[in-house]
Amino acid sequence: MENRLHPTDYEEGRPPKRPYHENRLVTQLKKPAVFIPLLLTLAFLVILLFINSSKNTQLSEAREQAAQEREAIVTQANQRVSENTTYFLRTLMIPFSWSVRSAMLSRNMEQVDQYLYAFVQEPRFELVLLADNSGKIISTTNQKYKGELFADHFQSSLLQAESITLDTSDSTSIKVAAPIMGLNSKLGTLYTVYTPDKPITADGE
């Protein structure tokens, strides 16, 4: 078999090199019987990789969408619970404040104390107290506040409430203030602290 010349042997001004022998592996790969099956195999592998990558991407997107939908449902559920709790507290305070008002107009503070102690027995109510028109606490379910100024322990602006007011700035408790109105003037403010249920989380904890 005649030896083929190396391509550089034809370059002008350069001495001829040793005969050029093509790599046996390259020679085998150039044969159709080897090259075509190999090409098909590579193409098949590329297609498999593409399909697998596409599947993983779709699964990831589906999981992300499911997580977002679950988060939206949880948010809506918590909002509904919060709205129901607010409605419950407002509704409950109306007859309670009227009962306290009636006892105050009768100057029956013993009856006021009984109302407060009965009310705090309800689930999740931590504290119930009554401050007079000057801001002094005159009845309370926690005796450490008796005779103290409301503003020294609680948000003083609640004493100015002209209607039932809820403070939800603290997620661990809801403060409710209800004004007690007399025939011609304000008698005082009824104040309660309520502990709501913990918010629902996406993982159910």
Rg (CA), the chain: 41
The residue that leads in pLDDT, 46 or 1, is 46
Cβ pair 182, 130 in contact under 8 A:
no
H or E segment at 179? Answer: strand 174-181
Give yes or no for a contact between 132 and 123, defined as CB atoms under 8 angstroms apart. Answer: no
Is the model's pTM score more than 0.85? Answer: no
- pLDDT for the residue 97: 94
pLDDT tens digits, one per residue of 163-182: 999 999 888 999 999 999 99
Q: Reply yes or no on whether the pLDDT at 144 is more than 80.
A: yes
Query: What is the tens place of the pLDDT at every residue in 58-90?
Result: 777 777 777 777 788 878 877 888 889 999 999
Type of residue found at 11: E
Supply the pLDDT for residue 131: 97
The rounded percent of the chain whose pLDDT value lies above 90 is: 48
If you search the block for the tokens 């003083």, which residue do you land on? 156
User: Within a 10 A sphere around the Cβ of 14, how many other Cβ atoms?
Assistant: 9
pLDDT-derived band at 127 (thresholds 50, 70, 90) equals very high
The structure tokens listed for 127 are 């504290």
Structure tokens given for 121: 């027995």
Phi, psi angle pair for 20, to nearest 5°: -85, 120
The whole-number pLDDT of residue 89 equals 94
Query: Which tokens in the block code for residue 83?
Result: 């709205």
Strand ranges for 105-161 from DSSP E? 125-132, 137-140
Please check whether residue 124 is in contact with residue 173, taking contact to mean a CB–CB distance below 8 angstroms.
Answer: no
| Tokens representing residue 185 in the block | 């003037």
Residue 194: both structure tokens together: 């309520």
* Half-sphere exposure (Cβ direction) of 189: Cα atoms closer than 13 Å: 27
Q: Within the chain, where are the H helices? A: 24-29, 32-105, 109-119
The pLDDT value recorded for residue 78 is 78
Identify the structural domains of the chain with CATH numbers, from first to last. Answer: 96-194 (3.30.450.20)
Query: Count of CB atoms within 10 A of residue 112's CB?
Result: 23
pLDDT number for residue 72: 80
